[in-house]
Amino acid sequence: MELTTVWFALIAVLWVGYFCLEGFDFGVGMLLPVLARDDTERRVMINTVGPVWDGNEVWVLVAGGATFAAFPEWYATLFSGFYLPLLLILVALIVRGLSFEYRHKREETEWKGRWDLALIIGSFVPSLLWGVAFANIVAGVPIDADKEFTGSLFTLLNPFGLLGGLVTLTLFATHGAMFVALKTDGEIRRRARDLAVRIGGVAAVLAVVFLVWTQLKTGTALTAVVFAAAAASLVAGLVSARAGREGWAFVGTFVTIALAVVGLFLGLFPDVMPSNTDPAYSLTTANAAATTYTLKVMTWVAVIFTPIVLGYQAWTYWVFRKRISVRHIPTAVLAGSSDTAS
């Protein structure tokens, strides 16, 4: 197998990891005003992702870095053409990170409310725009002979792209509700489980429409099988949630997101950024790749460090594996303490 194909697959794996892990972080943030009834319950929800959100976010940094190093032409065209959406995502992620760090610094209700709003918006914007971006990448965008994007922001806001955004938005919300149900106890657990089923029904309808549309655009026999498995996994997850089996429900949405991303990358290959101006202008794993020497060096680095990173992240999840509830939240927060440490 050529190294270009290997690195295309590795980048796909990185995006799978990012959407599956950061997806429930986004879902928890978006559902903060829906599931939590008071400040204590909001702190419970924040604490479910507090120890892991920054580690989950690393996946997108590695995916971006790997794209820059392995496929510099892809990186250049993508980040120049999608500059405004990616900038909005970056700002949202920064604001979201600040909300985790600054919410607990003062006890005033207004202060916490503002940072809660920052967390909600910082979760909502990437959830929507990542779907818009990936839908457009798979469907193809206007690229000229110089490998430059010739469209605008409004080019990306087409029906297929917007549907992709709604799919990721609802899937992440469902995934986040499943995670809250898995990680909490008491009344908030019940509310999260019920909400996951309701939002999941909407996500299932949108996802089926989007995946069928994608299949008609770029699909193969293999992508059809993968997309069908993704739909079946989502249904199984919702059935498990209704039965009160939160662990299997979370696995269901996790596998759904993973298979959906895999299917999109399978439909994309061997292109990395198709051109709908002229297929001859499309960026592929061959014409967008770095030198063979660069790919070899990157491969050795990945072989050495990837197991270390995965092991550390797995250990983090193991340490913070237990459920939390309102009884674990102290009634008073000491000055300088953190929500995520309480």
pLDDT of 339 above 70 = no
Cβ(139)–Cβ(213) below 8 Å: no
Give residue 332's pLDDT.
52
Structure tokens at 62: 């590695």
Give CA separation, 133 vs 11, 98, 104, 316, 319, in Å.
Answer: 16, 24, 34, 30, 35
For residue range 247-278, list pLDDT tens digits in order.
Answer: 999 999 999 999 999 999 999 999 999 999 99
Give residue 190's pLDDT.
94
Amino acid at 177: A
**What is the rounded CA–CA span in Å between residue 42 and residue 100?**
12
Letter string b/e over residues 106-133, b meaning 16 or more CB atoms within 10 A of that residue's CB:
eeeeeebeebbebbbbbbbbbbbbbbbb
Tell me how many degrees the CA angle 31-48-175 measures, rounded to the nearest 5.
50
Give residue 337's pLDDT.
41
pLDDT of 334 above 50 = no
For residue range 168-206, list pLDDT tens digits in order.
Answer: 999 999 999 999 999 999 899 999 999 999 999 999 999
Backbone φ and ψ for 142, nearest 5 degrees, come out as: -70, 115
pLDDT of 341 above 60 = no
Give residue 107's pLDDT.
86
**What is the rounded CA–CA span in Å between residue 71 and residue 68?**
6
Helix (H, G, I), strand (E, B) or coil at 274: coil
Mean of pLDDT over the chain: 91
For residue range 88-136, list pLDDT tens digits in order.
Answer: 999 999 999 999 999 988 888 899 999 999 999 999 999 999 999 999 9
Cβ(124)–Cβ(25) below 8 Å: no
Residues of the chain with pLDDT > 90, as a percent, come to 80
Backbone φ and ψ for 152, nearest 5 degrees, come out as: -140, -175
Rg (CA), the chain: 20
Give residue 10's pLDDT.
95
pLDDT band with cut points at 50, 70 and 90 for residue 328: confident
**What is the rounded CA–CA span in Å between residue 128 and residue 29?**
13
Domain boundaries, the chain: 3-331
Give residue 342's pLDDT.
40
Cβ(55)–Cβ(66) below 8 Å: no
pLDDT of 143 above 70 = yes
